[in-house]
Amino acid sequence: MFLIHFSHLHERFTSDHDLGGVQKFHALPVPRVGGVPLAAGLLGGCCVLAWLLRDLDILLLLAVALPAFCAGLLEDMTKKIGPLPRLLATFVSAGLAYFALGAGLTRLDIPFLDPLLSHFAVLSFLLTVVAVGGVAHAVNIIDGYNGLSGVVAIFIFLAMAYVAFKVQDPLLLGVCFAMIGAIAGFLFWNFPRGLIFAGDGGAYLVGFMIAEVAVLLVARHPQVSPWFPMLCVIYPVFETLYSIYRKKFLRGMSPGMPDGLHLHMLVYKRLVRWMVGSKDAMHLTLRNSLTSPYLWALSSISVVPAMLFWQSTPVLAAFCLLFVMAYMAVYRMIIRFRTPRWLVLRRSSTAR
């Protein structure tokens, strides 16, 4: 609230004034340092949890997240930290967690890979670092519209909290609810009015915490299938992988270059037709917010079965494949202008 109320004092450094970029869909300069209150809420919740459980590993988890969070926050403040340095900082955080917390992937329930991961620590380390960094970066990719990544993250943390409860892991259960509380507090100001953005600091923090809780669940509890977290995060992860494929092989451009063809952008441009052409800030903000529920629904079709079948690798793998097929079908339908009319949100008669 204070960051929003006193934005005039810090907007020179913290607000996003670039309203014309290919991935910019907001109407006014908005503070993009929502990662600061997110981190503060998480710290407060985890301090209480550490005191209740008498377990300092919770605070250690927050400490190793600092490189990922700080690199993102520096980008929010300076606009000079590129994607690669932020990704490398997240790799550093993942490496610290690997050694400090034992947060490493040693099994994928893939027969020919699991023995290699068990016997070669270097392979396990590299896989863990890339997976954690990839998930954090993927959450940042979908952080484009009011409420989109925040609600998707809450869905994921709720699913992981349920599994943490089933395996009786109070530490991870508490971390999940600390994250849910912090994100919910942020969403109060972000959705639907878009008064503050999570920014890269917030997105990388949330993504890193999702990845670490997922890795720890699998590492600490053999009964949890490694495909459970994969299905939980399949939406942002496949969005990122398909984006790389689309840019590199279909468009001949660098995967690091921004474009306007992410699924959430296509939904905004071609499905949410409410007040198209209006330059009114209120109309633009509302159109931005109306985009997110489409993607919440898409995310829920992976998170719900993940929560129901968290022990069954074959079922989870099948749902991963089904999600990829559904994503591709929806993407192709929208890009070819073959979307059913009932999915298109047009200006209502009362808005004319």
Q: In this predicted model, what pLDDT tens digit does every residue of 121-161 receive, in sequence order?
A: 999 999 999 999 999 999 999 987 899 999 999 999 999 99
pLDDT score of 349: 37
Ranges 74-88, 214-228, 245-259: which has the least confidence: 245-259
pLDDT higher at 329 or 11:
329
Say how far apart CA 43 and CA 108 lie, in whole Å: 31
Q: Evaluate if residue 352 carries a pLDDT over 50.
A: no
Say how far apart CA 253 and CA 248 lie, in whole Å: 5
pLDDT higher at 311 or 56:
311
Say how far apart CA 112 and CA 65 lie, in whole Å: 32
pLDDT score of 256: 77
Cis peptide upstream of residue 192 (ω within 30 degrees of 0): yes
pLDDT score of 45: 95
Ranges 19-33, 139-153, 165-179, 223-237: which has the least confidence: 19-33
pLDDT score of 7: 52
* Local confidence band at 216 (pLDDT 50, 70, 90 cut-offs): very high
pTM for this model (two decimals): 0.91
Q: Evaluate if residue 348 carries a pLDDT over 60.
A: no
**Which tokens belong to 331?**
């993407």
pLDDT score of 74: 93
Average pLDDT, the chain: 88
* Local confidence band at 13 (pLDDT 50, 70, 90 cut-offs): low
Q: Evaluate if residue 47 carries a pLDDT over 80.
A: yes
Residue 328 host element (H or E): helix 313-335
pLDDT score of 346: 80
pLDDT higher at 136 or 279:
136
Is residue 14 packed enough to be buried (19+ CB in 10 Å), middle (13-18) or exposed (0-12)?
buried
At 168 the three-state DSSP class reads coil
Closest CA to 196 of 5, 32, 326: 32
Closest CA to 218 of 108, 302, 91: 108
Q: Evaluate if residue 36 carries a pLDDT over 50.
A: yes
pLDDT score of 292: 93
Q: Evaluate if residue 79 carries a pLDDT over 80.
A: yes
Q: Name residue 307's amino acid.
A: M
Percent of the chain with pLDDT over 90: 67
Q: Evaluate if residue 245 carries a pLDDT over 80.
A: yes
pLDDT score of 351: 46
- Residue owning tokens 């896989």: 127
Say how far apart CA 207 and CA 137 lie, in whole Å: 7
pLDDT score of 12: 55
